Structure 1
Amino acid sequence: MCLSIKYSFMLPLLRKEINSFFSSLTGYVVIIVFLLATGLFLWVFPGQFNIIDNGYASLDALFIIAPWVFLFLVPAVSMRLFADEKKSGTIEFLFTQPLTEMQIVLAKYFAGLVLVLFSLIPSLIYLFSVYQLGSPLGNVDMAAVLGSYIGLFLLAAIYVSIGVFSSSLTENQIVAFLIALLLSFFIYIGFELISGLSFLNPVSGIILNLGINEHYKSISRGVLDIRNVVYFISVIAVFIYLTKMVLESRKLIKKTIIKQKIVQLTFIFVAIILVNYVVSFVFYRVDMTSEGRYTISEQSKNLLKNLDDELYVKIYLDGDDLPIGFKRMKRSLADLLDEFKVHVGSEINYHFINPSESPDKNIRFSLYKQLFEKGLVPIESNETTEEGKTMQKMVFPGLIVVYKGKEMGVNLLKNNPRYKPDGEENINNSVQSMEYELTNAIRKLTKGEKPEIAFLEGHGELSEYQVLDITNTLSEYYEVKRGVIGGTYGILDNFKAVIIAGPSLKFSENDKFVIDQYLMKGGKILWLIDGANINMDSLKYSPRTIAMPSDLKLEDQLFRYGVRINPGLLQDAQCAKIGMARRGADGQSKINLYPWTYYPVVLSDNTNEINKYLDVIRLEFPSSLDTVSSSPDVRKTILLHSSAKAKFDYAPVEIDLMQVQNKMDEHLFNQADVPVAVLLEGEFESNFKNRFLDPNITKAYEVISKSKATRMIVISSSSVIRNEISAKGESYPLGFDINTRKTFKGNKQLITNSINYLCDDEGLMSIRLREIKLRLLDKSKITSDKIFWQTTNTLIPILFVILFGLGAGYIRKRKYTRN
């Protein structure tokens, strides 16, 4: 009860400060200037902070510019709290009240905080507007906005504590304003600038963490970290205590009292430092975004923990004229790398570079060439201005990861054929896959001894040259070997995965048994099996040939595992083109391109770690496959299928090149979504379970009848892994189409993802499933009502303050008139 009576004396002082502010025209002017500046930057002035120009249903820009606007607003609000009392002499009267110095400071502090919060209330009109403009309506991450407002509140709380302290130092309000402005600026960004000095590198991390910005960056995104919260509370406590000491200085006459206060201050500082040090080892965070946007996976955390040297990332995505979508990609990448740093600290550093910064054309082109040689692929981004002009910009949406002297280029932009390369959907897909792309690069650079995989030989499989390109790619992850089974039991046991690519000869029972028992022991297999044999050489001399069913003696084995490859050919109306020589009107022979339904072009459904974000895949003479009943412990997932207009013919079937000249009869293409690739996972039953076997096959080995949990992938076309070979004997890139001179990148992505998924004991591939909802503004509403929304968000917050002021003045006038 005594405590409540004691602190009840604070309330009149708190009300006095608030009433004094709202009875002054200066207070309203300060808030109106703040709201006007914020509204103009967010809704009117063109630039990176303009919500309408950016096109995203987000208030991120508000929480980026607010700290800088607050640098002026908060000192202006708080400058008079003590300075005015000192100048008018009422400070002495204040000290005669039954209040301690701490109670006086807290009353003033909370009054300043209430005033700053009042200035934020009109900004809710921005949230309402973004909510209304969202596509669809209400497409805003409200939880993230709430988290960001909490971060802004904590930032304002620090600024107010600095303002109260500055006001206690002088009786001149202008001087108090300047002191608060400079102190706030220094604590917000000054430590960050100092930490960049080269001679302070050994302690740069400690200095950086002293500044507000390092802690505000995370919390302003809606991520509440207990370490950041404790930091904000600590800084507030320091300045409130310093203000208390300034007020007590009038009584500090005896040296013993001065020493006592110095000891107290030292104790407070040591206690705060100790608390922050202890909390730095407590990792507790709440990601308030609806998709957990700023929470990295456990797989990434485990990988990052193994870093034992600095990881440096050079990102070639910078510049004021960067297209809007790529600005979002840049911010998302910076956020991701900051999250990486949270887990490993100073072991990760990154730097944004503008490859087009130099005015010298030769220097720019030289850098472009270097980046291209390191694997970074540029794109020409087109952006339409309000005047209707199209601006072209060369963009390198990629980065280079450097670790222990090794470098690796990473392209961040996904090329989904359904979307424009620089479109919002494609960039959003790229943002979703950033974590995987980065962790994948880190895994390559940090991997010690590479696991082994093997291409099987001895059954007419594709030659070493026919899979040379994918072998080189897989060599970045694995030791890739080739060899013949030879019926040798256990010969495959040391391989993480085996690839059976395009066999054309029968498998012996011995080899089938070796493969079967390898699977039973937990081995992984990628099957690329053709359902029919086609002699393409015969088509060079005759327009017709016959496709015969493949007879590999694998049907029973694959059937037992849960899949059947149908003997025949799949045709698809969605197909690549083939070149045929035709004589022109001038008598000269030239190559014409015709749709060739035996070369389906496949688009993925983005449903799995393997097929998500795949580019277009080109197949040649694929078959179809069916999943069949097998062990209930096996789960089957279709990875690829045909378009909605396909047909399947069982072999033998005639192939006639002349059909390209005839119009396609779409009525015959009446099969939809015919499977061509399937993932099987679980515990498989052995093909040799409960069978009478030749002792020469099993020898002295016991048949394992059921496998450990394992995986296999079956694709009904070996063409997806085969690269073409030129007349000079040089291999083309995998997916290169000789007819159109175009490379279908999806082929290599599919095989790489398949092997990585099969061998993924750490679960890194699961990161590819990450989903971040695309939150855009409705372009039609913006186009038709742009002036309305600009006017609304610029004037209504100001009108709110003016009406509030008139209402408060009217109430005050009536009150005192009545009295």
Structure 2
Amino acid sequence: MNKRIQHSNKLVQLVTVLFGLMAVAWLSKQLFFRVDLTSEKRYTLTETTRQFMQELDSDLYVKVYLEGQLNSGFRQLSNASREMLEELKAEAGHNMQFVFINPDDHNSKEKKALIEELAEYGFEPQNVFESGEDGRQIQSYVFPYALVYYEDRIVGIDLLENLPSRSGAENLNISIESLEYKLTEAFKRLSSEERPKIAFLEGHGELDELDVIEATDALSAFYQVDRGKIGNDASILESYEVVIVAKPSTPFSEKDKYVLDQYLMNGGRLLFFIDAVNVTLDSLRRTPQTIGLYNDVNLDDQLFKYGVRVNPVVIEDVQAGRILMNARPQGQPQLVPVPWLYSPLLSSSQNHPVTRNINLVRGSFAGTIDTVGGNLQLSRQVLLRSSQFTKVSQIPVFISMADVNRQPKQEEFQSPHQTVALIQEGIFPSVFVNRQAPQGLVQSKSFVSESKFTRLMVVADGDIIRNEVRFKDSNPQILPLGFDEGSGQQYGNKDFIVNAVNYLCDDDGWMQLRGRHLTLRLLDKQNLSEGTAWWKWLNVALPVLLVILGSALFTYWRFRRFGR
């Protein structure tokens, strides 16, 4: 009888354990959770992202093509992408689905169609070269891209960051850092019913439409981009999130300055690209030498009131781009690349979302910026600056193409890290306080003497936003923005422009995702190489020693228990 009761109790316990395990398995499938124990919280979504994903009201579908036989680096990026999408899906629920696709699983016809589809978004297969066991170089292709579908719209995402100045491990870490921003930025673009409006100002000799067509095209993915003059309506800029003043060359009237001032006072955002010295490379191509003189656009007093002074100087930098020079004046031209000190390669701040993890920015005849007015209610951040070896030349500046043959002398380049781009945030005073408003303006609002919280960015180089235009048989040929013909390098000008406008428009903290930092924990290669033999012997001997130790302890335990 007792044996039956014991058997029955054991059966009940077994059934209880089985049902408990089944309940735990069902709950684990229904509930998604993860405890983030990393110091930088790399697996934790920001509150802005979580709220956005929870408010999605239509189905979102993501195709990721980073799948298949990948090396360790791309496999890590693929796994990180999957984990990030799982986190996002946990917030969005049934409104989001994703799939990973291996292009090599398709036949040749299907793979060709897939490559053509990705090419529509500017994506090409990435070559990967690896060494095989026999020492041969093995070439393969990977597709570090994703396509996002939302209703009838599609956006492509390049998951890989490839900065020439960074190592492979650093680029991989940067790519993983950028995942949340890239994915949510694409989702936000697709789900927005109306695109915000920005404007390029005209009427003061600014760069024309062809000169900024590369920047316009890049910004058109996010905004409705308009161009136009101010006119007599004081509130004409009201509907625009950002107004861009791209390299003016003629003076602003007091009416136009007043309109810009009141636009800023009412919370508008301004982005200035100012050349304080009038000199261009095109003028040097026509004549062997030129003189750089002051470019008075009548904005000095206004910018000074806002806490900024653009100095009428030209910098030379040992860290510079290249230009093409004709090495054979007679006969067939022979173009060779030569260093051009007036084309500084400007380094970016890694502590600001606008410039974090972008390539060097190529300038041309850049000036410098000083800050004034220490009692203003503003925070300031330098975005672009020159290198350690910089020379500053006051006007008038004599510039000749023969300067390419001049070797820089170290004692002349003693003005390091000159500020070329600056952003200010906070409360700005109006330049028209205690001044009469200009005549002839139609005003629908009363004068505002102090701004709301807003942002102002000033760049002391108008050519940073300018793309080169070549004319052949009267047909314009557009060179990529930031492209260096002499070296064939693509610099980060376009990324800087897009990030700058995105940050100026950002009131919800989206751009702060670009400032996310993940610690790169690399192995110490020196210690690893020096201690290789020790680690090999440890891996071989330790398991054997553990087995021997375990056997000895087990034998000793049996002897103690059963020895008698």
TM over 0.5: yes
Instruction: Sort the Cα spacing of 1:628 and 1:389 in 2 relative to 1 into closer, same or farther, 3 A.
Output: farther
Match of 1:331 among 76, 79, 86: 79
CA distance in 2, matches of 1:803, 1:94: 43
- Within the alignment, does 1:474 sit opposite 2:219 as a pair? yes
- Within the alignment, does 1:752 sit opposite 2:501 as a pair? no
- Within the alignment, does 1:608 sit opposite 2:352 as a pair? yes
The structural deviation recorded for 1:104 is 6.2
Contact 2:124 2:143 in 1 (8 A): yes
The structural deviation recorded for 1:792 is 3.3
CA distance in 2, matches of 1:794, 1:339: 40
Match of 1:817 in 2: 563
SS in 2 for 1:667: helix
Match of 1:636 in 2: 380
- Within the alignment, does 1:721 sit opposite 2:465 as a pair? yes
Match of 1:382 in 2: 129
Match of 1:314 in 2: 63
- Within the alignment, does 1:408 sit opposite 2:155 as a pair? yes
Within a 5 Å distance, the mapping from 1:797-812 to structure 2 comes to: 797=543, 799-812=545-558
SS in 2 for 1:436: helix
Please tell me the residue identity of whatever aligns with 1:737. Answer: D
Instruction: Sort the Cα spacing of 1:594 and 1:786 in 2 relative to 1 into closer, same or farther, 3 A.
Output: same
Match of 2:248 in 1: 503
The structural deviation recorded for 1:473 is 1.7
CA distance in 1, matches of 2:537, 2:93: 45
CA distance in 2, matches of 1:785, 1:390: 28
Contact 1:720 1:735 in 2 (8 A): yes
SS in 2 for 1:293: coil
Q: Give per-residue Cα distances to partners, 1:675-717, cap 9 Å, x unaligned.
A: 1101100111111223355565697864312111111111111
The structural deviation recorded for 1:779 is 3.3
Match of 1:596 in 2: 340
- Within the alignment, does 1:346 sit opposite 2:94 as a pair? yes
Instruction: Sort the Cα spacing of 1:565 and 1:790 in 2 relative to 1 into closer, same or farther, 3 A.
Output: same
- Within the alignment, does 1:398 sit opposite 2:183 as a pair? no
Give the percent of matched residue pairs that are identical in Structure 1 and Structure 2. Answer: 37
CA distance in 1, matches of 2:495, 2:23: 55
The structural deviation recorded for 1:365 is 5.3
Q: Give per-residue Cα distances to partners, 1:759-813, cap 9 Å, x unaligned.
A: 1122111111111111223334444544643553465346435423421331331
CA distance in 2, matches of 1:656, 1:817: 101
Contact 2:233 2:443 in 1 (8 A): no
Match of 1:236 among 21, 24, 27: 21
Please tell me the residue identity of whatever aligns with 2:552. Answer: L
Match of 2:296 among 530, 551, 574: 551
Q: Give per-residue Cα distances to partners, 1:257-301, cap 9 Å, x unaligned.
A: xxxxxxxxxxxxxxx98x899x96xx9764222221111112222
Contact 2:279 2:293 in 1 (8 A): yes
CA distance in 2, matches of 1:784, 1:501: 56
CA distance in 1, matches of 2:477, 2:101: 37
Contact 2:323 2:484 in 1 (8 A): no
SS in 2 for 1:392: strand
Gaps of 5+ in 1: 1-90, 110-160, 166-233, 240-271
- Within the alignment, does 1:767 sit opposite 2:552 as a pair? no
Instruction: Sort the Cα spacing of 1:697 and 1:771 in 2 relative to 1 into closer, same or farther, 3 A.
Output: same
The structural deviation recorded for 1:651 is 1.6
Match of 2:523 in 1: 777
The structural deviation recorded for 1:237 is 6.9
CA distance in 2, matches of 1:751, 1:512: 23
Instruction: Sort the Cα spacing of 1:101 and 1:407 in 2 relative to 1 into closer, same or farther, 3 A.
Output: same
Match of 2:207 among 457, 462, 487: 462
Match of 2:54 among 297, 305, 309: 305
Match of 1:493 in 2: 238
CA distance in 2, matches of 1:484, 1:96: 94
Contact 1:509 1:697 in 2 (8 A): no
Instruction: Sort the Cα spacing of 1:794 and 1:105 in 2 relative to 1 into closer, same or farther, 3 A.
Output: farther
Contact 1:316 1:353 in 2 (8 A): yes
CA distance in 2, matches of 1:553, 1:374: 42
Contact 1:460 1:505 in 2 (8 A): yes
Instruction: Sort the Cα spacing of 1:694 and 1:425 in 2 relative to 1 into closer, same or farther, 3 A.
Output: closer
More displaced stretch, 311-320 vs 345-354? 345-354
Instruction: Sort the Cα spacing of 1:376 and 1:635 in 2 relative to 1 into closer, same or farther, 3 A.
Output: same
The structural deviation recorded for 1:663 is 1.9
The structural deviation recorded for 1:650 is 1.6
Match of 1:665 in 2: 409
CA distance in 2, matches of 1:678, 1:750: 12
Within a 5 Å distance, the mapping from 1:83-482 to structure 2 comes to: 100-101=9-10, 235-236=20-21, 286-320=35-69, 322-357=70-105, 360=108, 364=111, 367-385=114-132, 388-420=135-167, 423-482=168-227
Gaps of 5+ in 2: none
- Within the alignment, does 1:733 sit opposite 2:480 as a pair? yes
CA distance in 2, matches of 1:633, 1:798: 69
CA distance in 2, matches of 1:104, 1:503: 84
SS in 1 for 2:334: strand
Instruction: Sort the Cα spacing of 1:378 and 1:644 in 2 relative to 1 into closer, same or farther, 3 A.
Output: farther
CA distance in 2, matches of 1:571, 1:276: 62
SS in 1 for 2:420: strand
CA distance in 2, matches of 1:567, 1:458: 22
CA distance in 1, matches of 2:80, 2:563: 58
TM-score with structure 1 setting the length: 0.64
Q: Give per-residue Cα distances to partners, 1:433-487, cap 9 Å, x unaligned.
A: 0111111111111111111111111111111121112112211111111111124
CA distance in 2, matches of 1:425, 1:352: 24
Match of 1:513 among 238, 244, 258: 258
Match of 1:526 in 2: 271
The structural deviation recorded for 1:674 is 0.6
Contact 1:468 1:723 in 2 (8 A): yes
Contact 2:115 2:124 in 1 (8 A): no
Match of 1:17 in 2: none
Q: CA RMSD in A?
A: 3.0
CA distance in 1, matches of 2:531, 2:137: 23
CA distance in 2, matches of 1:773, 1:542: 52
CA distance in 2, matches of 1:631, 1:356: 62
Match of 1:651 in 2: 395
CA distance in 2, matches of 1:743, 1:101: 73
TM-score with structure 2 setting the length: 0.91
CA distance in 2, matches of 1:711, 1:524: 5
Please tell me the residue identity of whatever aligns with 2:142. Answer: V
The structural deviation recorded for 1:817 is 2.7
CA distance in 1, matches of 2:367, 2:399: 14
The structural deviation recorded for 1:424 is 0.8
Match of 1:686 in 2: 430
CA distance in 2, matches of 1:405, 1:479: 19
Instruction: Sort the Cα spacing of 1:388 and 1:404 in 2 relative to 1 into closer, same or farther, 3 A.
Output: same
More strand by share: 2
Contact 1:513 1:697 in 2 (8 A): no
CA distance in 1, matches of 2:142, 2:23: 47
Instruction: Sort the Cα spacing of 1:518 and 1:694 in 2 relative to 1 into closer, same or farther, 3 A.
Output: closer
Please tell me the residue identity of whatever aligns with 1:604. Answer: S
CA distance in 2, matches of 1:238, 1:621: 70
